[in-house]
Chains A and B, each alone.
Chain A
């Protein structure tokens, strides 16, 4: 069981390391979007502090969207996906491995970059820590839910745009609790409630989404 998850994850990580341009493009997109907002809004520190959680979280959602279309598309094109679907273990575990690898190369670096970008928005140290923590906890859910969208739009015309249409509404709870936790900290309130809900969302989506995505992949392979 665990073997196959680890094997898929290791393979995807190795591939990502050989194709670092993809990964860095997503990170630069995140950096640029976050840095553009102050130029559009103005440099007033109070306003920026208020906007920071929302801006960083929305930028993280968009950056994740950018990396999702390729989650299965390369494997479909070169025939690897067929082989994975024919291997003698549940396809859901394969997808779980891919989701974890996706998180390690997109969600995790986004979360680690966030505090540096948060400084641009004059966030306090506490808020920066909470921001990073929410991203660490919330981005696995983004990868999980995103995998369903990527599988559903696999090989479909206009897949990229369609993917955002399907997935972004489902990201709303993660956005609300993620940005909400930082907001609550900035306002001096506790964020424990947000954290437990975020963790619940992350566990639920990483646990269930791979199976839904696997069902969608089987349809795409017919």
Chain B
């Protein structure tokens, strides 16, 4: 451990904005991108299900 206090850690020897700006942006992307990807996957599944139901319904009707 090289820091004497939490405040010193946050201050990053005067480079706080730059260092935390970099790590923050990375963290933000690494949190938001998976959430978006997961949501898209769920939306895809839901949409495909709706389509499949519509397809089976229309094929039943055409069989009658």
Are any A and B Cβ atoms less than 8 Å apart in their complex?
A: no
